[in-house]
Amino acid sequence: MRALYQERGWRVLVAALLVLTAMAGTVGWTLEKGQMPLTGPPPGITAWRADRVSGVPLPDPVRDPPSTAAEFFASLSEAKARALARRHPGVVGNLDGAPVSLRYEANARALRLEHSEQRVRSVNPAVPPAGRARARELAARYSALLTPGRQILAFDPRGRGQLAEVHGDLGRARHVSVIVPGSDNDLSTFDRSRDAYSTPSGMARSLHRAAGDGIAVIAWVGYTTPTGLGPDAATARLAAAGAPRLNRFVTALPTVDGAPRPVVFCHSYGSVVCGLAASGLAASELVVLGSPGLRADSVADLRTRARVWAARDDSDWIRKVPNVEFLGLGHGRDPVDPSFGALRVPTGQVEGHTGYFAPNTESLRAFAEIATGSGTVTGRPPTDREAS
C-alpha cells in the first residue's frame, strides 16, 4: 500500500512538472509579479455610505443583496434616482440590482469624468513623459467607450480597469448570455479592431449577431485577470477572488417573466472562475471553451443546476497543457474528457485558442443555439478518440 501511494505521488509530481514544461514551451512562461485582485466595494463608496435619501441610508454594495438595491430604487422617483447617479456615478454604475438604464447613465458620467481628468493629465508638464503617454492612451479608451449607442453596465478605472458592456436590450431580452474571458483582459484589451473576435467585446458582439433578436449578450470583465502565462494563470488565486463577483453579477441580472436563467460562456482562464462559481451561479447553461480545467473532476463535482457544455478544438494550444492539480498548480481534469461528463460543442472551422466566436464556425452556431434555447444542438459526451 505504501508503495502504491509513493507511485501516485511521483505520478502527480511528474504531471505537475509537465504542466510547467508545457506552458513554458507552448507560449512562454511569464515570470511577473502576481496581480493584486480588485475586490470590495466600487469607487466612491465612502461618500455613498455617508449619504441619505429622506434620512434613509443607501443600500450597501457589499453587505446588502442585489434585491435590496432593486427595492430601494423602485421606491424612488426618477428625479431622486438620477440625482443619486449624478452624485455617485462610481457606485450606481456598478451597483448590482440598480436599474439598468440608470447604470448606463451613471457609467457614462463616470467615463466622461475620467476622460476629462486624463486629458488634463496628458498635457500637464509636471507629469513624467511616460505618465502623459499613459494618460493619452486612457483618454482614447474612454472616448471609445463613450461612443453613442454603447451600453456600459459596469466600469471601474482602478488598477488595469474593469467593465461590462451589453449588446442588445437587456431589459426586454427573452434570453441573456454572459461572456467571462480569460487572461490579459482589462480596459486596454476589451476591444480592438485587430483579432476582434478574441476580445470580450468582440466575442459578445459576434454572439449577439449570430443569435439574432430577442437576446442580450454581456461581455463581463469584472475580475482581475492574469497577465501572460505565469503563476497567476497556473493557480486559482485570481479566479477565487473573481467567482463571488461573477455570482453576484449574474444573480442581479434582470429577466423577463418566464425566461430562463442566463447562459454563461467561459473562455480559457475564465472557465476557472466559472468552475469555482458554479455551485452558486444562477445560470441555465454553463459553456466552457478552450478551458485549462474547472478545478473539478466531473460535472457532478461542480454542484451546479446548469447544463454543462465544453468546447476545445485540436488547433487550440491549451490541449497541450496536462490537466492536473498539484499543490495549487494546474486546474484539474480536462472538461472535454469523456469522464468529466460535459456535453461536447462542435468546433469545425475554429482556428486556435481564440477562434471560437469567429463567424462561420460550428462553435459560434452552436453557441447561438445554446444561448437562445433553439434546441437543434443536443450535445453528447465526447468519445475517447475526440478527447485525445
Q: What is the pLDDT of residues 252-300, one digit of tens each?
A: 998 888 889 999 999 999 999 999 999 999 999 999 999 999 999 999 9
Q: Which of 91, 250, 244 lies closest to 155, judged by CA?
A: 91
Q: How far apart are CA 193 and CA 184, in angstroms?
A: 16
CB 276 within 8 A of CB 328: no
Q: Which of 7, 29, 37, 39 lies closest to 329, judged by CA?
A: 29
Task: Please give the C-alpha separations between residue 179 and each of 77, 142, 341, 359, in angstroms, as whole numbers.
Answer: 33, 21, 22, 17
Q: What is the pLDDT of residue 257?
A: 82
Residue ranges in the chain modelled with pLDDT below 50: 1-31, 382-388
Q: What is the pLDDT of residue 386?
A: 43
Q: What is the pLDDT of residue 24?
A: 39
Strands annotated E in the chain = 52-53, 56-57, 151-156, 162-167, 175-180, 215-221, 263-267, 285-289, 307-311, 343-344
Grid cell in block for residue 99? 436599474
Is residue 46 exposed (0-12), middle (13-18) or buried (19+ Cβ within 10 Å)?
exposed
Q: Which of 220, 253, 232, 258 lies closest to 331, judged by CA?
A: 232
Q: Which of 248, 258, 310 lies closest to 285, judged by CA?
A: 310
Q: How far apart are CA 129 and CA 274, in angstroms?
A: 40
Is residue 388 exposed (0-12), middle (13-18) or buried (19+ Cβ within 10 Å)?
exposed
Grid cell in block for residue 349? 472551422
